[in-house]
Amino acid sequence: MDNAALKERILGLVPDAEFQENKQFLTFIIPPAKMHDLALSLKAEADLAFDFLFCLTAVDMVKFLEVVYHLESTTHKHQLVLKARTEDRVSGAVDTVCDIWKTAELHEREAYDLMGIRFNNHPDLRRFFLEEGWVGHPLRKDYVDEVNIVEL
Amino acid sequence: MKEVINLPVKNVEEEEYHINMGPQHPSTHGVLRLVVSLQGEIVKSLKPHCGYIHRGIEKMCEKDTYPQIIHLTDRMDYLSAHINNHAVCLLVENALEVDVPERVKYIRTIVDELNRIASHQLWWCSFGMDMGGLTCYFYGLRDREKILDIFEESFGSRLLHSYYTPGGLMMDIHPNFQKNVKDFLKYFRRKIKDYDNILTGNIIMQERTKGVGILSKEDAISYGVTGPSGRASGFACDVRKHHPYGVYDKADFKEILGTEGDTFTRYMMRMHEMRESMKIIEQLIDNIPAGDYTAKMKAVLKLPAGEYYQRVEAARGELGVYCVSDGNKTPYRMKFRSPNFSNLSALDHMSRGVKIADLVAIGGSLDYVIPDIDR
């Protein structure tokens, strides 16, 4: 499916998805509450068949946090980027997609550990790289650690 | 007279217990800790514990300029250092819409493939060692040394080269480069037959790897297992074929796919891949066009505000670099989607129900490099 047809298809599934201009990939901002349902249909429906989540990451946009999903279909070869934004930095959470793409389990743990995004229904949401009891989430822009980070 | 204390004897065959494999276990090839839950010697499940070598490379990138970031990527998957460099260089070049000279593309492709062969040689020797064949270790290292010598002569270093720069190369190749590479190919075409004679055909090795640690194609895609490990399950994931960069579109090579998805197939994929890499180099080495070794670049590189993603085929699978730029000379956010990280996530699924000795074989066939997982 080409990008124009894919755009129609996504907007048909989630009418309030916000299209974002991006040279490389077709990009949408999805309301976090609808993310999981959309992910289910993206994988299940035969003409979409997004079975390969090749990157899951999070970005601190200062006012909110953003989870970025890079998806590809191994049968149709089309690609798509979805973004789910939390409401604010403190209380926001996004539903997990690790029941749909298993690779998300560790990627979400990493995003939780380093960016502090909580994923609802995740089976084992613990810190991944840092030890339990670490204070703060290092990849956030306001993170200050005078001991471990050397300012140059 | 001493009293004899009768300790209660537990039946280990029935009870589930946990052991720590690592962080200092030789078969984890680095500081990775696997908490393995066992019943007898059957693996019930395992949980990876990472972070022993977490250096916060993504956080460091936010303070560094793009040419500086190249030096950090070497230190992720140090066995495919050139390929990691390539990813960041391509990202910057595509974002700035720089035309890279053809000469650079040829040299980068050849060096990437040499790097892939060197990485697979080291994998082969450590895989052999994991299976109890110490001879492999010496054979593999002996041949890898030849490639490192070529690297040293041209780029001045053997492991962490930082040879690529945004727009081109740090310096031109050494005048002996082409001759030495051709000599190496002639040498290694002969020696790779020894690899097959020592290990591939070995009945003990085959018995231990065939049908062990099976990963289906659907699971490989779902877990994001890429590279030779993913292709062993039949997942066509070669970035060089599907999203070509460098001059891979001009070279004739096959994307070899397996069907079984077991440890032996993953082994065979890498053996095939070494031969394919040699084929690629043979086609390119005599055709390196003359020209500059770098494009003209500005002194300070500022990426236009926006998002960029670049994928390359590292020796262990797909490396993705995701960069969010706000228009400054340092990235706003840099994410490395490392192949080992995703490959590791499938380890629990693959090793359920196998013996703990087979876990070593499965781990060896996934070929993980820990600094790339932890970053």
As given in the structure block, the two tokens for residue A39 are 């992910």
A57, A106, A138: residue with CB nearest B56: A138
Residue B332 Rama label (left phi>0; alpha psi -120 to 50; beta): alpha
Q: Is the pLDDT of residue A57 over 60?
A: yes
CB atoms within 10 A of CB B325: 22
B309 confidence band (pLDDT: 50, 70, 90) = very high
Q: What is the pTM of this model?
A: 0.87
- Mean pLDDT of chain B, nearest integer: 87
Does residue B4 fall inside a structural domain?
Answer: no
Q: Which residue has the higher pLDDT, A146 or B165?
A: B165
Which of A40, A76, A96, A129 to mutate to test binding with chain B, by most B CBs within 10 Å of its CB?
A: A129
Residue B88 lies in a domain: yes
Distance in angstroms (rounded) separating the CA atoms of residues B240 and B237:
9
Q: Is the pLDDT of residue B338 over 60?
A: yes
Which is higher by pLDDT, B281 or A9? B281
Q: What is the mean pLDDT of residues A50-60?
A: 89
- State yes or no: pLDDT of B229 exceeds 60: yes
Half-sphere exposure of B209 (CA within 13 A, CB side): 29
Mean pLDDT of B54-65: 87
**Is A114 in contact with B58 (Cβ distance < 8 A)?**
yes
Please name which of A9, A12, A10, A34 lies closest in space to residue A97, comparing C-alpha atoms: A34
pLDDT classification of B130: cutoffs 50, 70, 90:
confident
Average pLDDT for B21-27: 79
Which site among A52, A79, A131, A143 would you substitute to test the B interface, given the most B Cβ atoms closer than 10 Å to its Cβ?
A52
| pLDDT of B222 above 60 | yes
Nearest to A55 among B306, B337, B374 (CB): B337
Determine the average pLDDT of the residues in B12-22. 77
C-alpha–C-alpha distance, residues B213 and A25, integer Å: 35
Domain spans in chain A, listed from the N-terminal domain onward = 3-120
| Over residues B114-138, mean pLDDT | 88
Q: Does B9 have pLDDT greater than 70? A: no
Report if residue B7 sits inside a domain.
Answer: no
Question: Residue B89 — pLDDT band, cuts 50, 70, 90?
Answer: very high
Residue B8 has pLDDT above 70, yes or no: no
- Of all residues in chain A, the one with the smallest CA distance to B342 is A103
Structure tokens at B371: 């600094």
Q: Model confidence at B7, in pLDDT bands (50, 70, 90)?
A: low
Q: Reply yes or no on whether the pLDDT at A50 is more than 70.
A: yes
Q: What residues have CB less than 8 Å from B93, skipping those under 6 apart?
A: B100, B166, B167, B295
Fold of A3-120: Beta Polymerase; domain 2 (3.30.460)
Which residues of chain B lie closer than 8 angstroms to A75, CB-CB? none
Q: How confident is the model at residue B322 (pLDDT cuts 50, 70, 90)?
A: very high
Mean pLDDT, range B140-156, rounded to an integer: 89
Which region holds residue B346: left if phi is over 0, alpha if psi is between -120 and 50, else beta? alpha
Taking residues B11-37, report their average pLDDT. 79
In a domain, B140, yes or no: yes
Residue corresponding to tokens 């041209």: B154
Rounded Cα distance between B348 and B74, Å, is 28
Q: How confident is the model at residue A45 (pLDDT cuts 50, 70, 90)?
A: confident
Average pLDDT over residues B228-244: 89
Residue B366 has what pLDDT? 87
Name the percent of chain B lying above pLDDT 70.
97
Note whether residue B100 is domain-resident: yes
User: Which domain does B220 fall in, by range?
Assistant: 54-374
Question: Among residues B138, B113, B115, which one has the least CA distance to residue B125?
Answer: B138
Task: Please give the interface size between A and B, counted as residue pairs whose CB atoms are below 8 Å apart.
Answer: 81
Chain segment B33-53, per-residue pLDDT in tens: 889 988 888 888 888 888 888
Question: How far is CA B92 from each of CA A24, A120, B83, B166, B170, rounded to the nearest angstrom?
Answer: 14, 36, 15, 6, 15
- pLDDT score recorded for residue B11: 61
The helix-helix angle for B356-366 and B102-130 (nearest 10°) equals 170
Please, which pLDDT band fits residue A26 given cuts at 50, 70 and 90?
Answer: confident
Predicted confidence at residue B195, as pLDDT, reads: 87
Tell me, yes or no, whether B25 lies in a domain: no
| In-domain check, residue B205 | yes
Query: Looking at residue A46, what is its pLDDT?
Result: 81
DSSP B250: T
Which residues in chain B have Cβ-Cβ distances shorter than 8 Å to A57? 322, 335, 337
Is there a contact between B357 and B61 (Cβ–Cβ < 8 Å)?
Answer: no
Who has greater pLDDT, A88 or B185?
Answer: B185
Is B44 inside any structural domain? no
Chain B residues within 8 A of A114 when measuring between CB atoms = 58
> What is the domain count for chain B?
1
Report the alpha-carbon angle A6-A7-A10, nearest 5. 85
What is the pLDDT at residue B2? Answer: 63
ipTM of the complex: 0.87
